[in-house]
Amino acid sequence: MLLLRTLLQMPELRLSLHTGEDQLDRTVTRVYGTELPDPSRYLSGGELVLSGLLWHHGPQDSERFVSSLASARVAGLAASETENRALPVDLVAACERHHVPLLEVPVDLSFATITERLSMELVGLSRHRRLLNVVAEGSGLPALLLAGGHELSAPCWVLSTTGRVVAGGELQDRVALVKEFLQADRLPKTVRGMTLVPVSERGGNRLTSWILVVGGEPQQEAAAELASLVALERLRQAQGRQIENRTAAPLLSAVLSGSSDVESRLTAAGLENVRLRVISAMTSDQRADLAAAVLEEALPQALVTPVGDTVYCIAKADDSVPDDVREAMRVMEPGLGSSRVLVGISSPVMSRGLRGAAEEATHARRLGERRGGRTCVVAGEEIALHQLLLAGVPEELRTSLRRRLLGPVLDYDAEHGSDLVGTLKVFLDCSGSWTTAAAKLHVHVNTLRYRVGRVEELLGVDLAEFEARVDLFLALQAG
């Protein structure tokens, strides 16, 4: 909506007000220039009338002209007097009498400049109104994006920061565009022939934003306007997701407590009689909001709920889930800042196995803590049973067990600068094969036998015994 008040605030127009200070909230619908003594037949209401006063020869002319404007309900009159360098007193009086706001135009400012400036403003308002109607009709994001592309005369897409195309069809280089977005010093940014505009950055975090991608270099104001309306659609989707996620917290509580009403809660969530996975996620700086946003973007159809600093997710057990989450983490990594994101994913289970799946996901995530990388996704089926078991043991206890079982060898290595621990690890990794282990260590078999014998002597064990091998293997893995 373009108000008279707004015109006076445009420094490039330098308009000044003579009458109608109490009527500045009138809406301007179009600009109309005239030098007719009575232009009423050409007016429909809401116009800003521009006139150089060529029709003016005396007070009676002002009365006739202004009364015609008042009867047509124009927004106001913008006039300029080039000969006398001042607006006629009778014109000012007529405008006061008929309640027509009167604005004076500087003599050095052309009416064409005013018309062009206000026409651009009115086009923008019309564009906004058309796009807003699409949102109000509830036609959805694809329809809004189609309408926005028409207004901007350019193709448009919406991406999530996981690289997922939210709307707009297939887009080449989408992952590269997301990385450019996450690493940009300033936004909007034009790169690879595309302009990247942020959409609804929750909490000011770019990582949890959507990205409006517009082909070429559109008018910034128009692109920002479309982005703001896309944000409304995003909010609508987020509210719908919040409603869906209301079932997640009680469902997960029932799963973790082993409650008997898990089946009924799965039915309420529409997840009965299907294989499921449980996902556990945490950030290094305990930002549950960030972990939740990451899982919501990576698995848009899953149920997500925070439990303290950890976020849990229950999703249908598609075989691609681990790869989908891993790919999402890889794409989002440039925007993580100082945060490290760890994700553990359970093996597929039916409803009876959900409690064990939650524990498996937690252990898998803890195992990821011991690995490198800014992001780490560990799936239950990818790791050995002993690794899952060790992941569930507190670090202090692992350290204590390692010390109790390997202490004499650790001390010997420290004192003599040897690596009997390394020799033992290779020997056990090779299932006790002397020739294979010797080849990996690049030593003679007799040398290997001597070193292993020294380990047995220091620890007081017989490595021919299976239980001794298992204990030492786990102690080595606990480090």
Q: Which residue has the higher pLDDT, 85 or 412?
A: 412
Task: For 183-213, write each residue's pLDDT tens digit.
Answer: 888 888 898 899 999 886 544 567 778 899 9
pLDDT in tens, 259-301: 778 888 888 878 888 889 999 999 888 878 778 878 887 888 8
Residue pointed to by tokens 């005013």: 114
Residue 10, pLDDT score: 86
**pLDDT tens, 356-402?**
888 888 888 887 777 778 888 888 766 655 555 555 556 666 677 77
The 10s digit of each residue's pLDDT in 139-186 is 788 888 888 888 788 999 999 888 888 888 888 888 899 989 988 888
Distance CA 119, CA 112 (A): 10
Residue 63 has pLDDT above 90, yes or no: yes
d(CA 392, CA 349): 20
CA distance 457 to 269: 60
> Distance between CA atoms of 277 and 391, rounded to whole angstroms?
19
Angstrom distance (rounded) from CA 390 to CA 338? 28
pLDDT value of residue 188? 87
> pLDDT at position 70, please?
95
- pLDDT on residue 118: 81
Check pLDDT > 60 for residue 348: yes
Q: Cβ(182)–Cβ(163) under 8 Å?
A: no
Mean pLDDT of 126-133: 70
Strands of 189-191's sheet, edge to edge? Answer: 165-167, 156-160, 210-215, 194-199, 189-191
Residue 205 backbone phi and psi in degrees, to 5: -95, 115
- Read off the pLDDT of residues 237-248 as tens digits, 9 standing for 90 and up: 777 777 777 777
Look at residue 308 and tell me whether its pLDDT is greater than 90: no
Is the pLDDT at 420 greater than 80? The verdict is yes
Specify the pairing of strand 341-345 against strand 303-307.
unpaired
| C-beta atoms surrounding 23 within 10 Å | 14
Q: Which distant-in-sequence residues (6+ apart) come within 8 Å of 104 by Cβ?
A: 15, 16, 17, 18, 78, 79, 80, 87
pLDDT (mean) for 94-101? 95
Distance CA 175, CA 334 (A): 11
Specify the range with the lowest mean pLDDT, choosing from 17-26, 132-141, 317-326, 361-370: 132-141
Q: For the residues 61-66, what does the mean pLDDT come to?
A: 95
Contact 276, 316 (CB under 8 A): yes
Instruction: Give CA–CA dist 9/100, Å, rounded.
Output: 19
pLDDT at 59: 93
CB 378 within 8 A of CB 365: yes
**Measured CA angle at 437 (ends 435, 443), to 5 deg:** 80
What gap in Å lies between CA 81 and CA 294, rounded to an integer? 64
Residue type, 449: R
Strands (DSSP E) along 162-243, which ranges? 165-167, 189-191, 194-199, 210-215
* pLDDT greater than 80 at residue 340: yes
Q: What's residue 357's pLDDT?
A: 83
Q: What average pLDDT does the segment 421-448 reach?
A: 88
Average of per-residue pLDDT across 399-422 = 83
**Mean pLDDT score, 122-141:** 72
Mean pLDDT taken over the chain: 84
Q: Beta strands 102-104 and 16-19: pairing type?
A: antiparallel
d(CA 178, CA 91): 60
